Structure 1
Amino acid sequence: MTETATVAGGCFWCTEAVFEEIEGVESVTSGYAGGHVEDPSYEAVCSGETGHAECVQVEYDPDVISYEDVLTVHFATHNPTTRDREGPDVGSQYRSAVFYHDDAQREAVEAFVDDLEAEYDDPIVTEIEPLETFYPAEDYHQDYYENNPDQAYCTVNIDPKLSKLNDQFRELVA
């Protein structure tokens, strides 16, 4: 039996690559959530006009990894204090967000952010909102890092996130 978490923290290629390394994660799907346009395309989301965030849906085994551990990895591998930006990617589609699936997730993420706030000099700007609809991204976005590890964006932006993950969360890495 798996559970689902939906998080946004910049480019979904980066977020997907991080979660694919975590023990207990069964699958990661890049996609779009939080917008007002039905079934948006990548190009439409990149325009910033649809209101969607690039995000990932993480299917995980709660007997192996907890929702709180998913949140720990999410918040540690992006900057939750910058609005509409992660690294070189700028725009509302790159915002930090957690799209909760039920009241238990909402309560957990709200408590998590309250506890985490003291660790940052700047306020956490991560949006916490209910998941209305998740739209999977186009096929070429799925497993992007796995399929393109030598692509410049990947080596400059994803490799450092994976190094940080391995250094800080060795016990969670599969």
Structure 2
Amino acid sequence: MERATFGSGCFWCTEAMFQRLRGVSNVKSGYMGGAIKNTSYQEVCSGQTGHAEVIQLDFDPDTITYDELLEVFWKTHDPTTLNRQGNDVGSQYRSVVFYHNENQKTLAESYKKTLNDSNIWDDPIVTEISPLDVFYEAEAAHHDYYNQNSNQPYCAFVVAPKVKKLEKVFADKLS
């Protein structure tokens, strides 16, 4: 098993999507990339800690490759908006890949360059590619959030459409 860490806006959305991929296990929501040790959801939501909401996952590279994870990452959020995903605004919602090794760094940078060169989006990709930092696991109430709270308004109006898009675009990668 290998590990990957991604931030693509609200971790409830990101967690819900990556949980559904074949070969992915142990998806945890948390915080990374900030200045305060042992931070909390309330602190991160203030936008003052420098942390991003992220998910950290384990994956079987014989079932799903890191390149495939990157494809899902970039195609399921807007990597061209700085510190924003939809109505979620702040540095905690930034697009970021935290790489665990040099191979992940090389693959992420290459994928980002290829996407920028293809001009798929009108604006350049602002996704941060940063070395692994300390991962602070989110509080228990945030674990498996969408699956436990799918009728909650945010989940119904924001997370559910992203999950439906994932199911349509990546049907061949679902567990």
TM over 0.5: yes
Match of 2:109 in 1: 110
Match of 1:142 in 2: 143
Match of 1:76 in 2: 75
Q: 2:93 corresponds to which letter in structure 1?
A: Y
How far did 1:27 drift? 1.6
Q: 1:142 corresponds to which letter in structure 2?
A: H
How far did 1:116 drift? 1.0
C-alpha RMSD of matched pairs (Å): 0.6
Match of 2:152 in 1: 151
Per-residue deviation, residues 78-121 of structure 1 (Å, max 9, x unmatched): 10000000011000000000000111110010001001112221
How far did 1:26 drift? 1.3
3-state SS in 2 of match to 1:171: helix
What's the TM-score, normalizing by structure 1?
0.98
What's the TM-score, normalizing by structure 2?
0.97
* Corresponding position: 1:14 with 2:37: no
Could you tell me which runs of 5 or more consecutive residues in structure 2 were left unpaired when the two chains were aligned.
none
1:33-44 paired onto structure 2 within 5 Å: 33-44=32-43
CA distance in 2, matches of 1:88, 1:121: 20
How far did 1:13 drift? 0.2
Q: How many residues align?
A: 173
Match of 1:125 in 2: 126
3-state SS in 1 of match to 2:173: coil
How far did 1:123 drift? 0.3
Could you tell me which runs of 5 or more consecutive residues in structure 1 were left unpaired when the two chains were aligned.
none
Match of 1:63 in 2: 62
